[in-house]
Structure 1
Amino acid sequence: MSFGEAIQTVFRKYAEFTGRASRPEFWWWALFNLLVTSALNLFNVIQIGDNAYLGSLLSGLWSIGVLLPNLAVAVRRLRDAGYGWGHIFWLLVPIAGIIVLIIFWAQPSKQPVGVPSTPPPPPAPAAA
C-alpha cells in the first residue's frame, strides 16, 4: 500500500472500527498525521493573542478533526495484529501505555480464527 492509498483508505473508513488495517496503512497514516501537525505548528511564529499562537490553534483543530479516524485505524490495526479493541485503553496510561501500543501496532498481521493460512488443495480427479 502506498502513502496516498493509505491516506485515502483511512479517510474513507474514518468511522469504521470493524475490519483490519495493515501495517503500511497504519504507519503511513501516522507519518501523514505527524507531517500535517508539524507543518501547522510552523505557524507558531504568528501570535494571535497574549498567550495564543496560530500554529497551536490550527494544530489543535486538526487533532480534533482527525480524532475519530485516528481511533478507528488504531483499533483496526490492533485487530489485524491479533489483539482486541480494548487494548486502545493503554492510551490512558502515561508514557508506558503508548510504548505498549507501539509494540502492539508493530506486530505482523495475524490470520483471523477459522481462516486457513493457505488455500485448500484442489480435489483429486475421479478414478475412471
Structure 2
Amino acid sequence: MNWYLEVLKKYAVFSGRARRKEYWMFVLFNIIIAFVLGIIDGVLGLTTEGGMGILGGLYSLAVLLPSIAVGVRRLHDTGRTGWWLLIAFIPLIGAIVLIVFFVLDSQPGSNEYGPNPKGVG
C-alpha cells in the first residue's frame, strides 16, 4: 500500500525515476480499487449505458495524472524519454512495447534522469 501512496504523493512529478516495484504495485492497487468500485457501482445501480460506473469514472479521472507520471518515471528508469508513452496510441503493438519497457530492469547507476532508485551504484 505504501508504494501506491508514494505515487499519489508524487501526483504530477514527471522527473526522476520509478522502480519496477513502484510501478507495478501502483497498477495492482489500481486494478483492485477499480474492481471494488465496479462492484459498488453495480450494487448501487450507478452504472451508465456504456457500462462505466460513476464511482469508477471519478476514480479513473482522479488517478489519470499520477498514472501518466509514474509511467514516465518508469520509462526514465529504463533510460527512455517519457514521450515513449505516446506509442500506446498504436493499437496492440504500442501496448505490447510499453509492457516490455515497463518490465525491463533499471538502468544501472545514474542516468540523465537521476540516480538509480534502487540505491545501487
Higher RCO (CA-CA < 8 Å; seq separation 6+): 2
Question: Which runs of 5 or more residues in structure 1 are unaligned?
Answer: 119-128
Give the whole-Å Cα distance in 1 for the aligned partners of 2:21 and 2:80. 17
After alignment, is 42-51 or 9-18 more displaced? 42-51
SS at match of 2:53: helix
| Pair member with larger Rg | 1
Question: What RMSD in Å do the two structures reach over aligned CA positions?
Answer: 2.3
Moved over 4 A (4+): none
The percent identity for this pair of structures is 35
One-letter amino acid of the counterpart of residue 24, structure 1: K
Question: Which runs of 5 or more residues in structure 2 are unaligned?
Answer: none
What is the TM-score when the length of structure 2 is the normalising length? 0.82
Question: Which residue of 2 is the match for residue 121 of structure 1?
Answer: none
CA apart distance, 1:76: 0.1
- Map residues 61-76 of structure 1 onto 2, 5 A cutoff: 61-76=58-73
Q: CA distance change for structure 1 residues 99 and 52 in 2, over 3 Å: closer, same or farther?
A: closer
What is the TM-score when the length of structure 1 is the normalising length? 0.78
Give the whole-Å Cα distance in 2 for the aligned partners of 1:50 and 1:6. 32
